[in-house]
Amino acid sequence: MPRALCAWYDRAKRDLPWRRTRDPYAVWVSEVMLQQTRAETAAPYYLSFIGKWPSARSLSGAAEEDVLKAWEGLGYYSRARNLFKGARSIVKRHGGWVPCDAAALQKVPGIGLYTAGAIMSIAFDRPVPAVDANALRVFARLLTLDTAGAKLHRTVAEHIRAAMDGCSPRRFSQAVMELGALVCLPRTPDCGNCPISAHCAALAAGRTQDFPQRAAKPERRVVRLAVAIATEPGGRVLVRRRSPHGLLGGLWEFPAWEAEEDPEAAVLKGLYGAGVPGGAPRAAGVARHGFTHLVWEMQGYFVQAQMAPVRRGWAWKTPEELEPLAWPSAMRPWRERVRALADKAPAEKHAK
């Protein structure tokens, strides 16, 4: 089975930029980006990121704000913060070189069991299992594994370690990932084009949809927010930077407050509490953004505000000054409205 799978990988693999290198740092960056992100989406981010910071040492010297800005649009920003912290740790503890040791790797911030396995197998060609969702799905079907959670993970890791005896760990790890991404799909596996279908117990039993066992997803909590696009007479917009800890840590946003019943009142109360008096809010539309565990349902408002000093972490910015800041995707609709206001203002001034 391992030889057949690796031979298929050699023929069918996608030409992805991180497959053109064995640099452990580049492998690390790619694996972090590929968590919760499709390869096609991650590829341009990877090329840009490696172009800016081609080594752990260069990344360790970057500004966190710049790293978050480079990550903008990929989501799950804790990955970027941990990558940044990890680079600093590698410089401090390993002289800037990614260690060729699974235990040492797992002591680096942001590198867990899977990422350590991916770096060890792909970059260093060592027989260390990299068990991601693709690997769990492939082996759960191959072996009809009726387990879940940690037990399934351990069982799959054992089988991967044994299978690596028949194929290069570098090729085998990537072959399993590629099979799960292209053929052994979650809901519609393409069994007719699977190079190892003859070994698949789930296919033989007509039970591919039964594996792996799926845990019920908890219902996402809905949070209703009132978002203020507050502009002072000079055209600057009020923004704030989120706490470095927690959801979207360190990213910029337009001020927003939870508002279950009266979002207009929430905006005025929030601005007043921030020391920024404002006029009557004017509707700016609605937007919705989903996270893994919750959903933001946002109602936006334009507010003509008075210029006032603001607390630490808040700032008045011109529309041009907003562009270099690192923003979450959830704020994209409101940024577009600010851009539209900025484009409209010169035109109105010229018309007068």
- Write down the pLDDT at residue 348: 57
- Could you confirm whether domain 221-351 is CATH 2.102.10.10? no
pLDDT tens, per residue, the chain with 352 residues: 899 999 999 999 999 999 999 999 999 999 999 998 999 999 999 999 999 999 999 999 999 999 999 999 999 999 999 999 999 999 999 999 999 999 999 999 999 999 999 999 999 999 999 999 999 999 999 999 998 899 999 999 999 999 998 789 999 999 999 999 999 999 999 999 999 999 999 999 999 999 998 877 789 999 999 999 999 999 999 999 999 888 999 999 999 999 988 999 999 999 999 999 999 999 999 999 999 899 999 999 999 999 899 999 999 999 999 999 999 999 999 999 999 988 876 555 545 5
The CB-side HSE value for 141 (13 A sphere, CA atoms) comes to 30
Asked whether the beta carbons of 215 and 226 are under 8 A apart, the reply is no
How is the chain split into domains, by residue range?
A: 2-210, 221-351
- Write down the pLDDT at residue 352: 53
Q: Do domains 2-210 and 221-351 have the same CATH topology?
A: no
CA–CA separation, 89 and 109 (whole Å): 7
Can you give the pTM of this predicted structure?
Answer: 0.89
- Write down the pLDDT at residue 350: 45
106 is written with which tokens?
């797992």
**CATH class belonging to 2-210:** mainly alpha
Q: What is the dihedral of CA 21, 24, 25, 28, to 10 degrees?
A: 100
Asked whether the beta carbons of 261 and 186 are under 8 A apart, the reply is no
Active-site residue numbers? 31
CA–CA separation, 209 and 155 (whole Å): 20
